[in-house]
Amino acid sequence: MRKQHSLLSKLVILSSIQLALLSLTGCTSTKIWLSEQFGNEKREQLVSSVESARDAQEDAKQQFSTALDEFLSITSGDQATADLEAKYSQIEAAYESSSSKAAKVYSKIETVDAVAKALFKEWENELEEYESPKLRASSQKQLNLTRQRYNNLVGAMNEAAGKMDPVLSAFKDQTLFLKHNLNARAIASLETDLNEIRTEVAILIEEMEASIAEANEFIDSLQD
């Protein structure tokens, strides 16, 4: 009984140290290793990280659409200066939220890539452990197929993420301009630019939806 209690105490202490190191370093490889110690295999972690990245893209897609609506609303109708001041605060918040959502998407993609690389490296190393050439070849074929599907996925994710940058830049420019030019003439001058941004957001949303669909297909392929 004492031995069991001692072993349990050591495990608790080890876990506490590992968690403390994790919080200090934030190292993705440490997160992957630690998650495995709690029974989450790299394959499961990859599915989870892809789901998380997919959800982050969905959130970003919705936020960019909302932000565009906020920007467009300021050009509609005759508004008093007080109304414009209040609207500017909403627009500034919309831009900040869009920037935050975009940063989260990039962070999630980085995590997906780190977990995928760890999984593929482990898979390649374990191919050498097969005694049966037939089973080794079958596993190699499955690895190649999974890696190809993953390359399609991460390519779609990066393509969609890259479309966020020009939209964010445009949102930032509009926000800065409005900060010092809250008058009817200035607002009217924004309409042409906002129409161009509307097109960029439409393309962004289309890319995001394609990436989300790719993520769902990849998740399904790993869960078959």
Helix/strand/coil (H/E/C) assignment for every residue in 199-211: HHHHHHHHHHHHH
Report d(CA 67, CA 168) in Å as an integer. 10
Question: Could you tell me if 2 and 79 lie in one domain?
Answer: no
- Between residues 9 and 178, which one has the greater pLDDT? 178
Share of the chain above pLDDT 90, in %: 58
Q: State which residues form the domain around 55.
A: 41-223
Question: Could you tell me if 59 and 167 lie in one domain?
Answer: yes
Q: What is the pLDDT of residue 7?
A: 46
Question: Could you tell me if 19 and 45 lie in one domain?
Answer: no
Per residue in 170-182, pLDDT tens?
999 988 888 888 7
By residue count, the chain amounts to: 224
What average pLDDT does the structure give for the chain? Answer: 84
Question: Could you tell me if 171 and 128 lie in one domain?
Answer: yes
Question: Could you tell me if 102 and 20 lie in one domain?
Answer: no
**pTM as predicted:** 0.81
Question: Could you tell me if 24 and 66 lie in one domain?
Answer: no
Question: Could you tell me if 23 and 116 lie in one domain?
Answer: no
The CATH number of the domain holding residue 109 is 1.20.58
Report d(CA 58, CA 208) in Å as an integer. 7
Calculate ∠ Cα 187-190-191, nearest 5°: 105
Question: Could you tell me if 74 and 117 lie in one domain?
Answer: yes
Choose among 140, 120, 142, 145: nearest CA to 128. 140
Question: Could you tell me if 25 and 81 lie in one domain?
Answer: no
Give me the residue label for tokens 């669909």: 213
Q: Cα Rg for the chain, rounded, in angstroms?
A: 24
Question: Could you tell me if 131 and 193 lie in one domain?
Answer: yes
Domain count, the chain: 2
| pLDDT band for position 6 (cuts 50, 70, 90) | low
Tokens standing for residue 165: 């940058």
